[in-house]
């Protein structure tokens, strides 16, 4: 196929760790088929390219753009709008774009608190003049600008319309390949849907399940789980009950509880609420004091446990900003 007739492909990262790109390359030699089928026009992680190259394209000229990362600052938002305009299919790729992921947990803090930590409080910070990022700085050579750091990290679909979601932190290479094949063969599901299965991790988990009666939630270091029984039954907060499958239940298979990176299955508006519902059903107590003990001892960080990957995409989206937080 000549370059001119190939579909154009882009992949971009915003507030992300780069794991999505690694997972994409983990499709191994099939990446050559991707290069065969697509003309890669923009992929800053693996090849040189400039924003101006994207700007020079016609609207809708990119066939598919895989976007990973949340929207943390105004540059991310600008790139999201630009790539939305240039792409026929925009995929929220990976947990950060889909649900905010770990960077979204910063929504527990205000922008000022984040800056305090990054530019003042950490032991390795040496910043005697208390310098903070400025949006504009008048240098003798001219006006310098930096993107605006937002108060609240947004997901991609809170910023621009998104066609498909590919969940996971990161998405498993097999699922990425499935999605690329679906795109190439034009066998995509209805726009707006998640490309993946629609059951929970428990479905793929081979552990034995009995009736669950939990009298104490334990943390990972407190228990050496047996290899056969459901981890939740053993008191670990395994989030598989509320999490979409697609990963092959990799974590529970090696005795590590599911932490929910694939997000909720279809039809769930709020991942943490789903998990709360599930956990409430397995706590074996009807005594308010006992319940209080189980919850406060077992879930010392409720948001970090129930919304580890999904705070930015939850109904509440963030913690309350203090009154008069406006800087």
Partner 1 sequence: MTETRFEPRIVGFFCNWCSYRAADLAGTARIKYAPNVRVIRLMCSGRVDPTFVLKAFACGADGVMIAGCHPGECHYLNQNHKTMRRHALLRHTLRALGVADERLRLQWASAAEGAQLAQAVDEMVAAVRAAGPLQWPRHLREDAPGLDGLQRAAQARDRAAGAPHGEARA
Name beta bridge partners: 15. Answer: 70
> If residue 259 lies in a helix (H) or strand (E), which one and from where to where?
none
148 near partner 1, rule: CB under 8 A: yes
Q: Which helix (H) or strand (E) holds 320?
A: none
Cβ proximity to partner 1: between 19 and 257 the closer is 257
Q: Does 172 bind partner 1 (CB under 8 A)?
A: no
**Neighbour tally for 53: CB within 10 Å:** 12
Burial of 8 per CB tally in 10 Å (0-12, 13-18, 19+): buried
Q: Closer CB to partner 1, residue 71 or residue 247?
A: 71
Residue 144 as a binder of partner 1 (CB under 8 A): the answer is no
Alpha carbon distances (Å) from 55 to 81, 128, 144: 11, 41, 22
For 292, the 3-state DSSP assignment is helix
Q: Is 99 in the site for partner 1 (CB under 8 A)?
A: no
The only residue of 128, 130, 206, 327 in contact with partner 1, by rule CB under 8 A: 327
Max Cα distance, the chain (Å): 71
Residue selected from 159, 200, 243, 310 as contacting partner 1 according to rule CB under 8 A: 159
Query: Which one among 59, 121, 174, 203 touches partner 1, defined by CB under 8 A?
Result: 59
Q: Which residue has the tokens 């930015």?
A: 312
Site string for partner 1, 229-268 (x = CB under 8 A): ----------------------------------------
Q: Are 244 and 197 in contact (CB under 8 A)?
A: yes
Handedness of CA 151, 85, 9, 310 (dihedral sign): positive
Which neighbouring-strand residues pair with 137? Answer: 144
Stretch of 1-9, 38-46, 240-248, 287-295 contacting partner 1, by CB under 8 A: 287-295
72 binds partner 1, rule: CB under 8 A: no
Binding piece for partner 1, criterion CB under 8 A, among 8-16, 98-106, 251-259, 286-294: 286-294
Separation of alpha carbons 54 and 248, rounded Å: 37
**Does 321 participate in binding partner 1 (rule CB under 8 A)?**
yes
**Token pair 């932190």: residue:** 169
- Asked whether position 151 contacts partner 1 by CB under 8 A, the answer is yes
CB 184 within 8 A of CB 27: no
Size of the site for partner 1 (CB under 8 A): 58
Q: Closest Cα to residue 98, out of 139, 40, 155? A: 155
Is residue 85 close enough to count as binding partner 1 by CB under 8 A?
yes
Cβ nearer to partner 1, comparing 229 with 296: 296
Binds partner 1 (CB under 8 A): choice among 158, 197, 253, 256: 158
Q: How far is the CB of 128 from partner 1 (least distance, A)?
A: 24
What is the rounded end-to-end Cα distance, in angstroms, of the chain? Answer: 55
Q: Cα 298 to the chain's mean position, in Å?
A: 25
Closest to partner 1 by CB, 72 vs 175, is: 72
Q: Is residue 130 at the binding interface for partner 1, with CB under 8 A as the rule?
A: no
Check residue 274 for interaction with partner 1 (CB under 8 A).
yes
Q: Is 277 in the site for partner 1 (CB under 8 A)?
A: yes
Q: Which residues contact partner 1 by CB under 8 A?
A: 59-60, 74, 77-78, 81, 84-85, 108, 111, 135-136, 147-152, 157-161, 269-270, 272-274, 276-277, 279-281, 283, 285-286, 288, 291-292, 295-296, 299, 301-303, 306-307, 314-322, 326-327
């Amino acid at each position: 196929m000549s370059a001119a007739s190939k579909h154009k492909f882009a992949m971009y990262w915003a507030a992300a760790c780069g794991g999505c790109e690694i997972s994409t390359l983990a499709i191994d030699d099939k990446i050559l088929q991707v290069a065969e089928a697509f003309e890669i026009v923009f992929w800053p992680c693996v090849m040189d390219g400039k924003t101006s190259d994207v700007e020079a394209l016609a609207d809708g000229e990119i066939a598919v753009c895989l976007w990973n990362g949340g929207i943390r600052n105004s540059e991310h938002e600008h790139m999201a709008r630009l790539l939305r305009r240039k792409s026929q299919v925009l995929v929220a790729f990976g947990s950060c774009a889909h649900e905010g992921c770990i960077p979204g947990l910063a929504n527990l803090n205000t922008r000022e608190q984040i800056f305090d930590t990054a530019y003042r409080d950490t032991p390795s910070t040496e910043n005697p003049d208390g310098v903070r990022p400025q949006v504009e700085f008048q240098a003798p050579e001219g006006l310098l600008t930096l993107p605006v750091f937002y108060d609240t990290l947004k997901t991609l679909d809170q910023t621009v319309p998104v066609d498909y979601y590919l969940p996971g932190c990161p998405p498993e290479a097999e699922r990425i390949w499935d999605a690329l094949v679906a795109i190439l063969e034009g066998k995509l599901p209805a726009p707006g849907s998640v490309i993946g299965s629609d059951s929970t991790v428990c479905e793929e988990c081979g552990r034995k399940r009995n009736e669950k009666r939990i009298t104490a939630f334990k943390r990972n270091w407190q228990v050496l789980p047996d290899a056969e029984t459901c981890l939740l039954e053993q008191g670990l907060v395994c989030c598989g009950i509320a999490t979409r499958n697609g990963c092959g239940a990799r974590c529970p298979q090696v005795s590590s509880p599911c932490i929910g990176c694939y997000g909720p299955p279809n039809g769930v508006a709020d991942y943490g609420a789903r998990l709360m519902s599930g956990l409430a059903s397995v706590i074996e107590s009807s005594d308010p004091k006992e319940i209080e003990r189980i919850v406060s001892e077992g879930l010392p960080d409720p948001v970090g446990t129930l919304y580890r990957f999904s705070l930015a995409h939850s109904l509440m989206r963030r913690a309350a900003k203090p009154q008069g937080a406006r800087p």
